[in-house]
Structure 1
Amino acid sequence: MQVVIFKLNDEQFAVETSKVQSINDAMEITKVPKAPAHIKGLINLRGNVISLLDINLIIDVPKKENNENSENSIIILEMDDELVGIVVDQVDEVLDLDESMIERPGDDNKRPYIEGIINFKDRVVTLINIDKLF
């Protein structure tokens, strides 16, 4: 399994590369009046209009302080033949993982979008199931 590891605030998360269509630098966002809070706006990517979601709000991770000045990345995800963008603080790396490295959550998992926890020697990464998240 291959995953993209990204950072939100000081936490690391991962999504399967099979769901990732592209990774882009920050770009101009068009605000949508009266849109729900988790929708940051729309972006135009090579002629495609894509909804940009605030993943921090969706998974309840506080925003990094001084976020206005930092460069963000946008991960374009493919879900049900539709493209959706999420803004992340930074994309760290793409890794090949062995399925045995993933600790699956128990049945009492309060957050169904958490696919599992990847335990490295120096850090812990939360694996997100994008289909269950949105």
Structure 2
Amino acid sequence: MQVVIFKLGDEQFAVETAKVQSINDTMSITKVPKAPKHIKGLINLRGNIISLLDINLLLDINNDEKEQNNIIILEMEDELVGITVDQVDEVLDIEENIIEKIENDRKKSYIKGIINFKDRIVTLIDIDKLLLN
């Protein structure tokens, strides 16, 4: 399994690369009036208009308006969606057997498991469950 590891605040998260369309630097965001709080706005990526979501709000992580440097474009049910992250750290091939399953907490059903590296812990996110619920 291949994953993209990114940082939000002091924590590291991962999504499967099968869902990732591209990784981009921050670009100009067009705000959408009266949109829900988790929708940051719209971006124009090579002629495609893409909704940009604030994954910090969806994951309940305090951002303190820190600058986010990267946008990960995800393919969700034939639609492109962007999420802003502090930074993309790396793309890694991992063995599925190093993913530790966690007890199913309904509030956090979007967490697929924990990847326990020797020097750090990365939370693997089921991006479909997070964004489509």
Task: Quickly name the TM-score band, shorter chain normalised.
Answer: over 0.9
TM-score, structure 1 normalization: 0.94
Residues 108 and 133 of structure 1, relative CA distance in 2, 3 Å threshold: closer
How far apart are the structure 1 equivalents of 2:102 and 2:41?
A: 33
Corresponding position of 1:23 = 23
Shift of residue 108 of structure 1?
A: 3.9
Q: Which moved more, 1:103-112 or 1:93-102?
A: 103-112
Q: Gapped runs of 5+ residues in structure 2?
A: none
What root-mean-square deviation, in Å, do the aligned CA atoms of Structure 1 and Structure 2 show?
A: 1.2
* Runs of 4+ that moved beyond 3 A: 107-110
Corresponding position of 2:48 = 48
Q: Note if 1:76 corresponds to 2:52.
A: no
Residue identity matched to 2:51 = S
Q: Identity rate of aligned residues, in percent?
A: 74
TM-score, structure 2 normalization: 0.95
Q: Note if 1:85 corresponds to 2:95.
A: no
Q: Gapped runs of 5+ residues in structure 1?
A: none
Corresponding position of 2:123 = 126
Corresponding position of 2:4 = 4
Residues 73 and 108 of structure 1, relative CA distance in 2, 3 Å threshold: closer
Shift of residue 106 of structure 1?
A: 1.8
User: Deviations 1:17-64 (Å, cap 9, x if unpaired)?
Assistant: 00000000000000000000000000000000000000000010110x
How many residue pairs match? The answer is 131
Residues 39 and 66 of structure 1, relative CA distance in 2, 3 Å threshold: closer
Residues 109 and 66 of structure 1, relative CA distance in 2, 3 Å threshold: closer
Partner secondary structure for residue 36 of structure 2 = coil
Q: Note if 1:101 corresponds to 2:123.
A: no
User: Deviations 1:51-101 (Å, cap 9, x if unpaired)?
Assistant: 0000000010110x461xx45100000010000000000000000000001
CA contact (8 A) 2:6 2:89 kept: yes
